[in-house]
Amino acid sequence: MAPLLSVVVPFHNVVAYLEECLTSLASQTLDDLEVVMVDDGSADGSRTIADVFAAWDPRFVLVGTGANVGPGPARNLGIEAATGRYLAFADADDVLPRDAYERLVRALEDSGSDLACGGVQRLESGTLGPSPLHARTFRRGARRTHITRAPKLVRDRTVWNKVYRRSFWDACGLSFPPGLYEDLPVALEAHVRASAVDVVPEVVYHWRLRESGASSITQRRTEAANIAERLASVRTARSLLARRAPALLAAYDGMVASWDLAIVAKAVEAAAEPDRSALLGLVGAYVDQIDGEAVRGLPAIRRLELYLLRHGMVGELAEVRRSRREHGGRVRVVPRGLREARWFAAYPYYGDRARRIPAHLYDVTEELELRAGVERVSWRGRSLAIEGYAYIRHAEDVRTRMKLWLVSPGTQERIPVVTFARTRRPHPDGADGPATGFVATLNRKLVKELRGRWSLHVELTGPRGLRREGPVKHGTLRRRQLRRAKRARAGLSDKVSDKATGKESVRTVSQGG
């Protein structure tokens, strides 16, 4: 009887990682599967590992290409040999959590969608961390959605964090092209042509950064030939969207500009002639196609790099990137205008008349977002202490005044918090920071009068009309939590923890900063 799921695993010279990958497939909680291993001309002993799995477990099937044809054709060969009702792909150097396929297949069985996709983590030196490419896409799950209703799915451009309904795959005539980055056009075409898609927020794939052996395609991404193939794949996918889903072009262009072209910028910075000129020619032709609205929606640093890349200003590009690395993303901001000022980041060459870089590329006004959160709530004697942080992104060094208040979500009643201290906090780079922290105190009488839920809100005001306000993350106070904190107060120190504030309070204020 045909298995429920077929997993296609092409491999080429990955002896250091193949066993771990295949073991993770053999131990899946969904055991009604077959694993089609495709030897893509390996010469390092990888095939021996595959032979062992094929002999040991009848669910493992080994086929071969005869010569190294690349991941796309190798996957196509595996698809021809696959017999399952559902279809999945795994790269031979990666690893899957034990319940990955159970989650994805269950979603499809319940919903009837054509494909299910799930969260991804990066695996480096045995440690798991977020995958920047996928993190935003899988914050929340969804059933029977579609890329046209959820444009963030343009970032879901890999095939190995998914399960496809085989009948859907065949009906669309999907197959992988030769060359590198072959999965981008296929992944997006499947998204566009699917009747419905399930988004599984749980992590279903561990994407490895290799530590030994030959570097992966992704790790060789700044090589000139690699960049050329990347841009060819990006153009192919864009042409597909232009034909089938033009409304997605702005979201797609924004993703490419923030992800792929950032990689291209790094490659151009490192390249020597004649590779540098060739890369600039390739990227220039692509940048000219990009949707203008997508570019305007990018962070200023990306807009600036894109401009320098397009105009071949390689020395300036290298300096901008060096400055960003050196300062860890921190930048001084300056206002322009009298009352309702626009704010500009003082990245290199800001105001440099000789280079004539447009000033609007440095405009970060829309990036000046409120960042606020509660880190600890504890009783100190007869007062409740709320420790947290509040600052305006990019404007951490701008002097601001702070107001705090509690809001009842039900009645919208507001209670001002009149006693709090501004505190200094370290920046991520370890340097001393400005007064971006706070410790607010509520007296016992007020706390006893609170009923239901109350949310902490903050307002920060600075010079030249700068003002941001909003709720404080993790700032919801519930009566039950306050009672629990009160019962535990005897074992708590009266000192504010270093983790919460970074340093001792620098001053106590009443509504000011």
Decide which of 226 and 363 is more confident: 363
What average pLDDT does this structure show over 145-165?
97
Give pLDDT tens digits for 86-121.
999 999 999 999 999 999 999 999 999 999 999 999
Residue 296 dihedral angles phi and psi, to the nearest 5°: -65, -25
Find residue 282's DSSP bridge partners.
none
Please give the mean pLDDT across all residues of the chain.
88
How much of the chain exceeds pLDDT 90, in percent? Answer: 68
Spatial contact of 205 and 96, defined as CB atoms under 8 Å apart: yes
**Highest mean pLDDT: which of 143-152, 274-283, 321-330?**
143-152
C-alpha separations of 318 from 250, 274, 375 in Å: 27, 18, 38
C-alpha separations of 356 from 41, 313, 343 in Å: 53, 12, 19
Q: What is the DSSP string of 75-98?
A: HHHHHHH---SEEEE--TT-B--T
Q: Which fold has domain 5-209?
A: Spore Coat Polysaccharide Biosynthesis Protein SpsA; Chain A (3.90.550)
What average pLDDT does this structure show over 447-468?
91
- What sections of 86-211 are H helices per DSSP? 100-111, 166-172, 183-193
Q: Provide the pLDDT for residue 184.
A: 96
Give pLDDT tens digits for 43-88.
999 999 999 999 999 999 999 998 999 999 999 999 999 999 999 9
Give pLDDT tens digits for 413-438.
999 998 899 988 765 445 456 778 99
* pLDDT band at residue 485 using 50, 70 and 90 as cut-offs: low
Residue 321 dihedral angles phi and psi, to the nearest 5°: -70, -40
Joined together, the tokens standing for residue 402 give 């702070």
Q: Provide the pLDDT for residue 488.
A: 53
How does DSSP classify residue 58?
Answer: T
Instruction: Break the chain into its structural domains and give their ranges.
Output: 5-209, 221-367, 370-509
CATH architecture observed for domain 370-509:
Sandwich (2.60)
Give pLDDT tens digits for 181-232.
999 999 999 999 999 999 999 999 999 987 655 544 444 555 778 888 999 9
Joined together, the tokens standing for residue 168 give 């859907």
Spatial contact of 296 and 363, defined as CB atoms under 8 Å apart: no
Residue 501 dihedral angles phi and psi, to the nearest 5°: -125, -20
